[in-house]
Amino acid sequence: MIHGEVRTTCPYCGVGCGVLARVEPDGRVEVRGDPEHPANHGQLCSKGAALAETLDLAPRLLYPEVRGARVAWDTALDTVASSICAALDRHGPESVAFYVSGQLLTEDYYVANKLMKGFLGSANIDTNSRLCMASAVVGHKRAFGADTVPGCYEDIERAQLVVLVGSNAAWCHPVLFQRLVKAKSDHPELRVITIDPRRTASADIADVHLALRPGTDVALFNGLLVWLYDRDEIHSLFVDEHTEGLEDALAAARAGAGDVEEVAARCGLGAAQLLQFYELFARNERVVTLFSQGVNQSSSGSDKVNAIINCHLLTGRIGRPGMGPFSLTGQPNAMGGREVGGLANQLAAHFDLDYPSHRALVQQFWKAPTIATRPGPKAVDLFRAVEDSRIKVLWIMATNPAVSLPDAGRVRHALAKCELVIVSDCVRHTDTTRYAHVLLPALAWGEKEGTVTNSERCISRQRVFLPSPGEARADWWMLAEVAKRLGFAAAFDYPNAGAIFREHVALSGLKNGGTRDFDLSGFVGISDGDYDVLAPVQWPVTKDHPKGTARLFGNGSFFTPNGRARFVPVTPRAPVHVIDAEYPLTLNTGRVRDHWHTLTRTGFSPRLAAHTIEPCVEISAHDAAELGLVECQLARIASRWGSAVARVRVTDFARRGSVFVPMHWNDEFTNAGCIDAVVNPATDPLSGEPEFKHTPVSVAPLATAWYGFLLSRRRLTPGNATYWAVARGPGLWRYEIAGHELPQDWASAARAVLCAQEAEVEWIEYFDKAAHRYRAARLAGGKLESCIFIGPDPVLPPRDWLVSLFGLDALDTLTRAGLLSGIPGNGNADAGRQICACFGVGEGSIRAAVAGGCVSVEAIGQCLKAGTNCGTCVPEIRTLLPV
C-alpha cells in the first residue's frame, strides 16, 4: 500500500484530468482533482469525483483461466503462445489479430503494436479508438500531413468564438466544458455556437444552437467556405504562402453549396440562423471549432473533419492563440494509441506504414525479424475476418466489442465461431468475456503505471496507489511474456514500464529532426527516477523545446512533403443507409452524463448509476404522439440489424425524426438494452469509423401486461419479467421490470423472486386483484430487505424514498404505514431522480425549492448546494426553473 497522496490521471475521458489519490489508514480511497494539472486545475466532474466508488474487487477478474478453469500464469501464457505459434505455422501471419483499447496505457499499446507489426508480421491490430476518432486522424493527415492536434485547451479560453460541432462536451468532456463556462462568464463577449441535431446540455451556454439535419455537416461547412471566400473573408498571405488546393476545394464546395438559403434548406435550418453563424465566424478572428463523435462517427466523417479544417485554413486561423480546429478524443488514451501505431493503418511514432523507408527504419530499430507491409483490417472489418475464419486467434485487450461495435449481434456470432478468443481485462463478467477461451487478469486504474495522452497532446502519468489484487498483471507484461515464449525474448525484455517509455521516446526521435510531429527526443535516456516524477507535458518535447509545445503550425509549416497545408475537396454524401417507410426515424447514440462506456466501472457506483438507471429512448413530442408512445412506457427500437428495448423519454430536445439512445447498456445490466445490436455497420471508406449517429429505425410501444420495480439488498433473477434493467443503489440493487403475461398468483410469483423460503423474514403485502396492483416488502431483522411494486402501467410510486429506507436499521411505525404506498408518512416529498451527483440532490427536491421561491441556478445552489461543485448538472437544473 502506498501512503500519502499519489498524483495520477483520471481513466475516463480524453480531457485527461489530474487526480490526487490517497489510501486512508482504514483502506478507504479518497480522490480529488489535482490543482497542479494543466488540464483541470483541481476540478473533477461527477465521474472523476466518484472514482473511489469504482474500486470494488467483487467484479474483478483476478486469476488466469483457460476454458473456464483457473490455471497458473505459465499455463495461460503457454496456451496463448502455442496457439499463436500454431496459427502462424498453419495459416500465416494474417490469422492472428489483436483488438486493443484506448483504456490501455501507452506502454501497453507500444508493446502490443511492436509484437504484432514487427514480430508476428501483420498489421492485424486495431483499437476501439477506431470507433471514436479515426475520422479526425484521416482529416489531420490529409490536411496537415500528420495526425496533429494543432492547439491546446487554453485556446478555448482565449477564443472570441467557440463552435461545438457534434460535441456534447457538457456531458462527454465535462471539465473542459466547465472551463468554457467559466471563460464565458469571465468574458461575456465570448460567443458559443452548438451544431448538433439534438439540443444537448452543451447548448445551455450557446448563443446559437443549429439543430441541423443529421449528416449535413459537410454542406454546412462547404457553404461557409464559399460564403467566406465570396466576401473576401480570407487570410490571403497565409493561403498563398502556406497552403495548396484552395481552387479544387472551392470548386467542390460550390458544386453542392448554393446561396445561404439553399444551404440552410439542405441542412434543415432557418437561413437567418445560418447567416448568424457565418457572420459570427467571419467577424471573430479567434475561433476554435471543437468537434467530436458527432462529426467523426459517420460514413463521411473524414470529409466532415476536412470541411471544418478548410474553413480554418482559408482564414489562417490555426496555430495561434485562441484559434484552430480541435478534435476532442473520447477515451483517456486514444491519443497515446495514435502515437504508438495502435491503428491497423499506422506504424509506431507517427512513422508511416505506407513508406518503405519508414518501415525499414522501424524494423531496424526494433531489431525485428519482419515488418508489416500493408494495413490490417479496421475494427468492423477485423471482426468480419474473424467471422469468416480468416482470423483464427483473437486477443482482445481492455475492451468489450460484443457491446460496443455496431451490429453487435454479428460480432457475437463471429466471437462464438473463433477458434481461440483471448481476453485480458480487469472485469470477470462482460458480454465479451463470455466468449473467451483464455482469460488473463489485468491490473486496473490505481494498480498499473504508465502514461496517457489527452486531447491536447498532454502526456501524463498514471501511477500506482493500490496493491495488485489476486494475480492481476500489467498488459505490457502479458504481451512481453507471450513474445518471449515465441522466441523474441531479447526484444521484449522490459524490466518495467519506464523501460518501454524510454524505447518509445527513442523511436520518436529516430531520424526525426523536425520531419515528424511526434517527437519526444527531449526525453531520450530518461531515467526511471525521472519517469516516476514526470510532470504533464505536451508533445513534441525536443532539446529545443524541453518543456513541450502548446501549439503547432504557428510558423505556417506543415508535415506535408512541400510543407504546405492542404485544402481537401469534399462533397456532401448521404449516409449509407437512409430512412424509409419501414424504418422512418434516425437513431443517434452516445453517452449519458454519469456513465462510461459499457458500465464495467461506473455501473458499480450508486452515485453515478442514480442519474440514469436504465436505457432510455429520447424522442420528440411530435414523433411520440404519432407513434402512440407516452412518457415512461417501454419501446422497442428496431433496425435491419437488430432490436433493443428502452424507456421512452419525451423531450423538446430531440429533433423531429431523430431519436437518441445511450450506448452504455449491455447484458450484465439489462436483458434487452444493447443498442449497438441495432446500429448499422456502415463505415467511412477512409477512416473505417462506424456510423453510430445515423441508423434508420422504427420505434414502437412494447406490448406489456404489467410494469414494476424491485429493490433488493441481493442481486436477484427477475423471474417472469420479459424486460429488466438493473442499477446499483446504495447498499442495494434497483431493478426496473415488465412482463408480457400476468401471473396467475402474484404473491407466489413475487415471493419466488424475493426468496420467500427463509424463515426469519416478515412480509407486508398488498394486492388489488381488479386493478392488477401488487406490492410487497420483505423485512429481515426489522430492516427492509427487498420490496416489489407491480402495476398495469408505468405510473408507479417514485423510488428514491424507498431506496433511502435501505439505509435504516429499523423501520418505525409511520414508515411501515407508508411503505407500500411508496410515500413518506411524514409528509416529505420524494427526492426524485438524482440530478446533482456531487451532493445527491434529486429532481423532486429541486422542484420543491423552485416552488419555494428559488428561481435561479444560484438560488438552488445556495438552498441545496446542487450545481455548486463540478457544475455538470447545471444545464439540467436550468431545465427545472420557470421560463
**Under the rule (CB under 6 A), what is the footprint of ligand SF4?**
10, 12-13, 15-17, 40, 44-45, 47-48, 173-175
Q: How far is CA 432 from CA 603, 632, 666, in A?
A: 16, 30, 10
Assigned C-alpha cell, 330 = 473520447
Taking a C-beta distance cutoff of 8 angstroms, is the pair 620, 655 a contact?
yes
Cα dihedral 45/48/49/53 (nearest 10): 140
Using the minimum distance from each CB to ligand SF4, give the nearer residue, 16 or 867. 16
Using the minimum distance from each CB to ligand SF4, give the nearer residue, 168 or 639. 168
Q: How far is the CB of 12 from ligand SF4 (least distance, A)?
A: 3
List all residues 6 or more positions away from 173 whose beta carbon is below 8 Å from its beta carbon: 13, 14, 15, 167, 292, 328, 455
Using the minimum distance from each CB to ligand SF4, give the nearer residue, 17 or 788. 17
Using the minimum distance from each CB to ligand SF4, give the nearer residue, 152 or 500. 152
The residue among 223, 218, 219, 174 whose CA lies nearest residue 200 is: 174
Rg, C-alpha atoms of the chain? 27
Q: How far is the CB of 464 from ligand SF4 (least distance, A)?
A: 18
Amino acid of residue 724? W
What is the rounded CA–CA span in Å between residue 680 and residue 641? 6
- 571, with CB counted inside 10 A (0-12, 13-18, 19+), is middle
Closest residue to ligand SF4: CB criterion: 48
Q: How far is CA 778 from CA 57, 267, 734, 787, in A?
A: 28, 56, 15, 6
Q: How far is the CB of 159 from ligand SF4 (least distance, A)?
A: 19
List all residues 6 or more positions away from 98 whose beta carbon is below 8 Å from its beta carbon: 112, 115, 116, 124, 125, 126, 394, 395, 396, 397
E strand or H helix at 508: helix 497-509
The residue among 602, 843, 820, 639 whose CA lies nearest residue 727 is: 602
Q: How far is the CB of 352 from ligand SF4 (least distance, A)?
A: 30
Q: How far is the CB of 862 from ligand SF4 (least distance, A)?
A: 25
Using the minimum distance from each CB to ligand SF4, give the nearer residue, 314 or 328. 328
Taking a C-beta distance cutoff of 8 angstroms, is the pair 559, 148 a contact?
yes
Using the minimum distance from each CB to ligand SF4, give the nearer residue, 14 or 688. 14
Taking a C-beta distance cutoff of 8 angstroms, is the pair 208, 48 a contact?
no
Q: How far is the CB of 704 from ligand SF4 (least distance, A)?
A: 36
Q: How far is the CB of 29 from ligand SF4 (least distance, A)?
A: 15
Using the minimum distance from each CB to ligand SF4, give the nearer residue, 227 or 445. 445
Q: How far is the CB of 883 from ligand SF4 (least distance, A)?
A: 30
What does the DSSP 8-state code read for residue 806?
T
Using the minimum distance from each CB to ligand SF4, give the nearer residue, 15 or 619. 15
What is the rounded CA–CA span in Å between residue 167 and residue 329? 10
Using the minimum distance from each CB to ligand SF4, give the nearer residue, 48 or 64. 48
The residue among 173, 166, 197 whose CA lies nearest residue 308 is: 166
Assigned C-alpha cell, 334 = 486514444
Q: How far is the CB of 170 from ligand SF4 (least distance, A)?
A: 11
Using the minimum distance from each CB to ligand SF4, give the nearer residue, 376 or 875. 875
- CA 126 to chain CA mean position, Å: 17
Using the minimum distance from each CB to ligand SF4, give the nearer residue, 31 or 805. 31
Using the minimum distance from each CB to ligand SF4, give the nearer residue, 17 or 164. 17
Using the minimum distance from each CB to ligand SF4, give the nearer residue, 294 or 522. 294
Using the minimum distance from each CB to ligand SF4, give the nearer residue, 49 or 402. 49
Q: How far is the CB of 44 from ligand SF4 (least distance, A)?
A: 4
Q: How far is CA 462 from CA 14, 16, 805, in A?
A: 14, 10, 39
Q: How far is the CB of 40 from ligand SF4 (least distance, A)?
A: 6
What is the rounded CA–CA span in Å between residue 605 and residue 751? 28
Report the 10 Å Cβ neighbour count for 817: 12
Using the minimum distance from each CB to ligand SF4, give the nearer residue, 76 or 156. 156
Q: How far is the CB of 833 from ligand SF4 (least distance, A)?
A: 21
Q: How far is the CB of 47 from ligand SF4 (least distance, A)?
A: 4
What is the rounded CA–CA span in Å between residue 239 and residue 247? 11
Using the minimum distance from each CB to ligand SF4, give the nearer residue, 12 or 435. 12
Phi then psi for residue 636, to 5 deg, are: -100, 130
Largest CA distance in the chain: 86
Q: How far is the CB of 84 from ligand SF4 (least distance, A)?
A: 35
63 in helix, strand or coil?
A: coil
- Write a three-state SS string for 536-591: CEECCCCCCCCCCCCCCCCCCCCCCCCCCEECCCCCCCCCCCCCCCCCCEEEEEEC
Compute the C-alpha angle 860/862/867, nearest 5°: 55
Overall residue count recorded for the chain in this entry = 883
Q: How far is the CB of 234 from ligand SF4 (least distance, A)?
A: 36
Pairing mode of beta strands 732-739, 723-729:
antiparallel
Q: How far is the CB of 178 from ligand SF4 (least distance, A)?
A: 8
Q: How far is the CB of 346 from ligand SF4 (least distance, A)?
A: 24
Using the minimum distance from each CB to ligand SF4, give the nearer residue, 7 or 359. 7
Taking a C-beta distance cutoff of 8 angstroms, is the pair 296, 305 a contact?
yes
Using the minimum distance from each CB to ligand SF4, give the nearer residue, 47 or 242. 47
Q: How far is the CB of 591 from ligand SF4 (least distance, A)?
A: 10
> How many Å from the N-terminal Cα to the C-terminal Cα in the chain?
52
Taking a C-beta distance cutoff of 8 angstroms, is the pair 596, 668 a contact?
no
